[in-house]
Amino acid sequence: MMVNFTVSADTEAILLLCASFGENRQAEPKPLTLKEYNLLAKWLQENRMRPQDLLDKNTQIKLQSLPGDKLDPSRIFALLERGAMFAFAVEKWTNQGVWIIGRGDGEYPLFLKQRLKHSAPAILYGVGEIELLSKGGLAVVGSRNIDEEAVEYTQQIARICAEEKIQIISGGAKGVDQASMLGILEAGGTAIGVLADSLLKAATLGKYRDSIREGQLTLISTYDPNAGFSVGNAMGRNKYIYALANYALVISSSVRQGGTWAGAIEALEKIKEVPVWVRMEDNVPEGNQQLVEQGARPFKLIEWNDYLHDFLSKPPELIEKNIEEENEQQEEKPSENEYNLEENVETHPAETAEKLVENESISAQNTLEEQQTVPSIPAEEIYQAVLPIILKHLQEPLDDKSLAERLDVQIGQMREWLKKAVAEKKVEKLKKPAKTYVIADKNLLDFIN
Task: Specify if 431 maps to a domain.
Answer: yes
Q: Is residue 360 helix, strand or coil? A: helix
CA distance 375 to 276: 44
Give the long-range contacts of residues 397-404, CB within 8 A, separation 24 or more: 397/430, 397/436, 397/437, 397/438, 398/436, 398/437, 398/438, 399/156, 399/159, 399/433, 399/435, 399/436, 399/437, 400/435, 400/436, 400/437, 401/156, 401/435, 403/437
Task: Specify if 119 maps to a domain.
Answer: no
Q: Which position has the higher pLDDT, 34 or 319?
A: 34
Span 339-348, pLDDT tens digits: 333 333 333 4
291 and 250: one domain? yes
List b or e across 256-294, with b for residues whose CB sees 16 or more CB atoms inside 10 angstroms: eeebbbbbbbebbeebeebbbbbbbeeebbebbbbbbee
pLDDT at 305: 58
Average pLDDT of span 100-119: 95
Spell out the residues 6+ positions from residue 196 whose beta carbon is closer than 8 angstroms to its own: 171, 172, 173, 221, 223, 229, 230, 233, 234, 236, 237
Residue 412 has pLDDT above 90, yes or no: no
Task: Specify if 385 maps to a domain.
Answer: yes
Q: Give me the sign of the Cα torsion angle 355, 360, 363, 366.
A: negative
Q: Give me the sign of the Cα torsion angle 160, 164, 170, 174.
A: positive
Residue 121 has pLDDT above 70, yes or no: yes
Q: Which position has the higher pLDDT, 401 or 304?
A: 401
134 and 249: one domain? yes
Domain holding 220, by residue range, is 130-329
377 and 239: one domain? no
Span 206-254, pLDDT tens digits: 999 999 999 999 999 999 999 888 888 889 999 999 999 999 999 999 9
> If residue 185 lies in a helix (H) or strand (E), which one and from where to where?
helix 176-186
241 and 349: one domain? no
pLDDT at 416: 85
Span 14-33, pLDDT tens digits: 999 999 998 878 888 999 99
**Domain stop point among 69, 91, 113:** 91
Residue 107 DSSP label: T
Burial (CB < 10 A; 0-12, 13-18, 19+), residue 38, is: middle
Q: In whole angstroms, how far apart are CA 255 and each of 139, 272, 275, 289, 319?
A: 20, 22, 20, 9, 24
281 and 135: one domain? yes
The CA-based angle 36-233-5, given to 5 degrees, is 75
Position 377 confidence tier, pLDDT thresholds 50, 70, 90: low
Task: Specify if 110 maps to a domain.
Answer: no
pLDDT at 69: 77
CA distance 140 to 163: 16
Question: How many domains does the chain divide into?
Answer: 3
In terms of DSSP bridges, do strands 276-279 and 247-250 run parallel, antiparallel, or are they unpaired? parallel
Contact 267, 248 (CB under 8 A): yes
pLDDT at 274: 96
Task: Specify if 66 maps to a domain.
Answer: yes
Average pLDDT of span 260-277: 96
pLDDT at 186: 96
pLDDT at 374: 41
Task: Specify if 113 maps to a domain.
Answer: no
Position 10 confidence tier, pLDDT thresholds 50, 70, 90: very high
Average pLDDT of span 360-373: 43
Return the CATH number at 311.
Answer: 3.40.50.450
In terms of DSSP bridges, do strands 168-170 and 191-195 run parallel, antiparallel, or are they unpaired? parallel
385 and 303: one domain? no
Q: In whole angstroms, how far apart are CA 64 and each of 14, 46, 375?
A: 19, 15, 90
Residue 89 has pLDDT above 90, yes or no: yes
Span 172-195, pLDDT tens digits: 999 999 999 999 999 999 999 999
Q: Which position has the higher pLDDT, 355 or 419?
A: 419
Of 281-285, 348-352, 386-390, 435-439, which gets the smallest average pLDDT? 348-352
